[in-house]
């Protein structure tokens, strides 16, 4: 309700206060020339004066946005305060929204404000994740010296007059000669800036998730024989966490994405605090104080679980924004109501593929909800709502344990056997997750601290496994949906980029496996000896490869049958009888010039396939004679050399990843730039195509950074050489981390 006494206007500044049972929010309109950071600090200083204790939790600014999450206390109760300042608004003013509520009810009150209050038809705090704010506040309870409990009544500042803002410096850039244009009514559709921002943000979340997963894996080793190595590994990750806020500060959001960016900056701040919490835990180990060790470990674990929830919530925000629904979506729950995960009755399964996919997607949403609810209630175990949180955790655990039986009712139609196998694996892991939690509870009841830490680490590892399988299965379902904007051919720009990277195409490099000129004795500077070959013969072979005249617009699959193309999705090397297959996430690149070549003199066969996803990646696959001397490891060493990097992508190129697998395959990921500054990625990978390694299967995958991780994941799962993965040295997460480091 409106506090009529709070309506105020003076010196070009207007404000109004709306109150709820325990909380209040204010909406301010201020001159457009105000400096957002200075205005924020002055107003929050006035709050601090009114309430005494005022603790900063997370504060930042970017573009036309500044924000702050703070905590204060009144009459022994802790309150959260979230402030959001927005410049360049359609109203022509700087708009300032502040929500003030008790920590125990903050998320509910914040959701109520988002649903109930609009400015010019736009919901306040649009896109800001209330659950993420709640997690930050819950992780800092006690900082303001109060208790997390309901207040006796609403606490509204007695002086509702706006503070004097004449001292706030105006933000007037020297280069600004005219007023900037107002933001478009639909920021998500205004330009490509928003899409570019989101495609930059998503790998950042994947990077954070990777560090969380890696840390979880090492937790399991804390009680093992190599605990020192586990601590060292986690400490290295923690150093990355501590530095992450500085890394995140470099990301700037366009207009219309203020809410998402505020959530991201809040997450970044919490990641930084997680690093500090781990350092505190390690320091406590050095003291030998058992109480301090348990306390610092609990603090770390609370923040750890909270971050998982923030990542999931932010991914949801991004997905909604990409669907164009952020500005228009309304909460489905009543004001102040908590979200509840409802277990639906599956009923008889249909054999229709579309219905099956929808059913699995619904199940994944349900499972993700149980993980999120568990994380939220786990964070509340130490608070006043500990009993209710324990009951909720027990309910979720029972659902996990019984989930395999529930999932048994779902039957996959023909053609979905792979998805069904992935889902069956996930259901088993979910059941084990429930059993794992019960094991941790039993260990806690035994009073054996060591047994509890081991059991709890096992539980965290199992939770990370389930989360990973949910993510992987969601990606698998996305790849099966042929109606999501996939295109049969790469864009013209992508083809041009590949042509510039490969210069004269894959054929010349495939003829000379190392790409280097031979010396007089037949060896190469890269250290990989090749069978002696006359230079004139080599050049003739190169020419022979490009004289078939096949490929290009209008080419038919039948045109390539005598060169080894069996059908769409299958190719057999004419010289080596090596079968290369690909799933429907890839397509034979018939529109390319010379998509298939076979050179008998050089002992090289090549086929080219293109990714069907948006972004335009291609893979040039070669089967070649090793001469009994060239190995995948030797090729990887050469591809990682400065000489090859410069030759492949230019002087500014750099090696992002370089490794070999236990099976002897070698791979290198390189980043380069085209003449127009376009960034391009090149993945080189080689494996033995037979048991004796007399022949090699070599891939050169080329694409743009934004879509490359998805294309790589599809190549890793869907392209095979005689039934074995062609791509596989790196995991998809390693590729994402390599690109974003």
More confident residue, 373 or 430: 430
Residue 53: predicted pLDDT = 83
Give the pLDDT confidence of 151-195 residue by residue, as tens digits: 776 655 544 344 444 344 444 332 222 333 333 333 333 345 777
| Whole-angstrom distance, CA of residue 398 vs CA of residue 391 | 11
A 10 A CB-CB count for 184 gives 13
Dihedral of CA atoms 14, 18, 24, 29 in degrees, nearest 10, equals -20
* Residues 683, 700 contacting (CB under 8 angstroms): yes
Nearest 5°: the CA angle 708, 710, 715 is 90
CA 645 to chain centre: 28
Tokens of residue 179, six digits = 């007023």
The answer to whether the beta carbons of residues 78 and 155 sit under 8 Å apart is no
Neighbours of 402 (CB within 10 A): 14
pLDDT of 1 reads: 57
pLDDT band at 221 (very low <50, low <70, confident <90, very high): low
The whole-number average pLDDT for the span 605-630 is: 88
Highest mean pLDDT among 198-207, 382-391, 396-405, 601-610: 601-610
CB of 667 closer than 8 Å to CB of 601: no
pTM beyond cutoff 0.95: no
pLDDT one-digit tens code per residue, 681-707: 999 999 988 888 889 999 999 999 888
* pLDDT class of 352 with cuts at 50, 70, 90: low
The pLDDT of residue 155 is 59
How much is the pLDDT for 578? Answer: 93
For residues 616-642, average pLDDT: 89
State the pLDDT at residue 10: 64
Q: CA dist 601 to 124, 416, 508, Å?
A: 70, 43, 13
Q: Among 248, 252, 282, which residue's Cα sits nearest to residue 266?
A: 248
Q: Which residue has the higher pLDDT, 494 or 420?
A: 420
Q: Measure the CA–CA gap between 243 and 32, rounded to whole angstroms.
A: 34
């Amino acid at each position: 309700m409106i506090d009529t006494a709070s309506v105020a206007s003076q010196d070009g500044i207007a404000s109004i206060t709306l109150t709820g049972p325990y909380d209040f929010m204010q909406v301010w309109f201020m001159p457009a020339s105000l400096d957002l950071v200075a205005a924020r600090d002055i107003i929050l200083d006035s709050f601090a004066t009114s309430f005494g204790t005022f603790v900063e939790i997370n504060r930042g600014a970017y573009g036309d946005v500044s924000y702050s999450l703070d905590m204060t206390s009144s009459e022994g109760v802790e309150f959260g305060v979230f402030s959001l300042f927005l410049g360049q608004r359609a109203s022509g003013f700087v708009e300032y929204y502040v929500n003030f509520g008790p920590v125990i009810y903050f998320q509910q009150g914040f959701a109520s404000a988002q649903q109930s209050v609009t400015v010019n038809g736009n919901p306040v705090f649009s896109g800001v994740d209330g659950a993420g704010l709640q997690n930050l506040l819950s992780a800092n309870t006690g900082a303001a010296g109060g208790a997390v409990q309901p207040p006796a009544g609403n606490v509204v500042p007695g002086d509702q007059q706006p503070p004097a803002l004449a001292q706030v410096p105006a933000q007037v850039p020297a280069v600004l000669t005219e007023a900037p244009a107002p933001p478009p009514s639909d920021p998500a559709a205004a330009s490509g800036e928003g899409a570019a921002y989101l495609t930059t943000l998503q790998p950042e979340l994947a990077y954070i998730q990777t560090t969380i997963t890696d840390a979880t894996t090492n937790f399991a080793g804390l009680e093992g024989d190599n605990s020192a190595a586990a601590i060292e590994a986690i400490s290295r990750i923690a150093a990355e966490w501590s530095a992450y806020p500085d890394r995140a500060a470099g990301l700037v959001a366009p207009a219309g994405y203020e809410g998402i960016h505020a959530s991201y900056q809040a997450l970044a701040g919490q990641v930084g605090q997680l690093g500090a919490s781990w350092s505190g835990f390690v320091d406590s180990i050095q003291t030998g104080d058992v109480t301090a060790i348990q306390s610092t470990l609990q603090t770390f674990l609370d923040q750890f679980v909270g971050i998982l929830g923030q990542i999931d919530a932010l991914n949801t925000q991004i997905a909604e924004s990409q669907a164009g629904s952020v500005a228009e979506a309304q909460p489905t729950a009543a004001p102040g109501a908590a979200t509840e995960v409802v277990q639906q009755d599956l009923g008889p399964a249909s054999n229709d593929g579309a219905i099956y996919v929808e059913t699995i997607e619904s199940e994944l949403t349900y499972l993700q909800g149980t993980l999120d609810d568990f994380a939220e209630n786990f964070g509340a175990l130490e608070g006043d709502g500990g009993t209710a949180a324990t009951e909720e955790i027990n309910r979720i655990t029972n659902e996990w344990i019984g989930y395999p039986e529930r999932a048994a009712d779902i039957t996959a139609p023909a053609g979905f056997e792979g998805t069904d196998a992935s889902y069956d694996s996930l259901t088993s892991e979910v059941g084990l997750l429930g059993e794992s939690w019960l094991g941790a509870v039993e260990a806690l009841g035994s009073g054996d601290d060591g047994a509890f830490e081991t059991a709890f680490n096992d539980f965290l590892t199992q939770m990370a496994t389930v989360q990973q399988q949910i993510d992987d299965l969601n990606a698998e379902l996305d790849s099966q949906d042929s109606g999501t904007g996939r295109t049969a051919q790469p864009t013209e720009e992508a083809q041009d980029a590949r042509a510039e990277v490969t210069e004269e195409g894959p054929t010349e490099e495939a003829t000379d496996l190392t790409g280097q000129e031979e010396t007089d004795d037949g060896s190469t500077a890269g250290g990989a000896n090749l069978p002696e070959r006359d230079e004139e013969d080599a050049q003739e072979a190169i020419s022979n490869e490009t004289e078939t005249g096949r490929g290009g617009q209008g080419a038919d699959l039948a045109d390539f049958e005598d060169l080894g193309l069996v059908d769409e999705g299958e190719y057999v090397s004419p010289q080596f009888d090596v079968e290369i297959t690909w799933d429907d996430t890839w397509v034979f690149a018939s529109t390319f010039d010379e998509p298939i070549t076979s050179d008998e003199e050089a002992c090289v066969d090549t086929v080219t396939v293109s990714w069907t996803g948006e972004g335009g990646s291609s893979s040039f696959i070669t089967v070649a004679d090793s001469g009994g001397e060239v190995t995948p490891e030797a090729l990887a060493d050469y591809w990682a050399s400065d000489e090859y990097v410069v030759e492949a992508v230019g002087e500014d190129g750099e090696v992002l990843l370089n490794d070999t697998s236990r099976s002897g395959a070698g791979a290198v990921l390189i980043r380069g730039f085209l003449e127009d500054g376009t960034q391009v990625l090149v993945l080189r990978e080689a494996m033995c195509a037979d048991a004796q390694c007399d022949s090699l299967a070599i891939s050169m995958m080329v694409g743009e950074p934004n879509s490359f991780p998805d294309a790589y994941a599809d190549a890793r799962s869907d392209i095979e050489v005689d039934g074995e993965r062609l791509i596989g040295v790196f995991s998809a997460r390693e590729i994402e981390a390599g690109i974003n480091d």
